[in-house]
Amino acid sequence: MNEKKQGWINLYKPKNISSHEVIKKIRYKFKVNKLGHAGTLDPLAEGILPIAIEKTTKLIPFVNLNNKKYIFTIKWGEQTSTDDIEGEVIKSSQKVPNEEDIVKKLAEFIGYIDQTPPSASAVKVGGKRAYKLFREKKNFILHPKKVFLKKVKLLKSAKNKTSVFEAECGKGFYIRSFVRDLAISLGTFGHVYHLKRTKVGLFSLKSAILLDDLLKIRQTLSEFNGILSSVSMLDDILAYEIEDREDLFNLSLGKSIVINLNNLINPSLNFFDNNFLFLSKNGNIVSYGKLNGNLFEPKKILL
């Protein structure tokens, strides 16, 4: 296993580029076979985009996408076809809500709510992405989905008919849909004027690297010291560090191995009820699977 070629890059994506295009640029620059990202960002949005390297892509489903934070700006008085500045204005109003009314209305959106995704979104309709159908001017219907909003607060309002907010939400939550629905509930219209994601699970602005800075470095990816270990960005997991070479060899063959339960990392009081376990070696996940007593049964091998 080439341990240096696994792990995460905590990337800061700029505006005016898609998440898919970001992957293409990094792959071309560093000649990496496999890259993936957790939590897609719209082209017009900027912010945190976790990048998985090589076999770490198999761990993307385990990134805590239920903990995302955004700072965004609403432009009041105009609803657009895409619910952001890219679309055409389809409805307009002269009403700009005052801060007191906004704060009162925000409370009604906290918790689990039904939310219809934007027409220009990555939601699949009959096996095809909604944004592709939208661009082809096809008629289609998007159904509401249950999403979760943990927190939202008004930061400031300006005289140019805009207000800035901060929100913490779960997987599948669309800020564009929230803005559209909030504005309508306040008797007006609105769209996302600016959007920045500041956190995805354990990935935050503090350790992020700008895309331009990443593409300018002269090292190979294996020499780049900004790669985070694959286990470090998985939140609140039950893990076990492999030390025995024979255990690694048996795992590479897909065999079950016996582990010492006293050496489990982050064991909960009732960890036997949650018997999903990750095995690591020098900070990189080498396998995950089920714990049956003290016998680990691998589901996926990342060696």
Amino acid at 66: N
CA distances from 271 to 74, 186, 253, 266, 275 (A): 44, 46, 27, 9, 6
Q: Which residues pair with 199 in a beta bridge?
A: 69, 204
Considering the candidates 42, 83, 84, 181, report the single residue annotated as catalytic: 42
240-274 burial: b if 16+ Cβ within 10 Å, else e: bebeeeebbeebeeeeebebeeeebeebeeeeeee
26-42 burial: b if 16+ Cβ within 10 Å, else e: beeebebeebbbbbebb
Distance CA 290, CA 129 (A): 34
Active-site residue 244, yes or no?
A: no
Residue by residue, what is the 3-state secondary structure of 124-182?
Answer: EECCEEHHHHHHCCCCCCCCCEEEEEEEEEEEEEECCCEEEEEEEECCCCCHHHHHHHH
CA distances from 284 to 7, 187, 206, 232, 296 (A): 7, 52, 22, 8, 17
Active site residues: 42
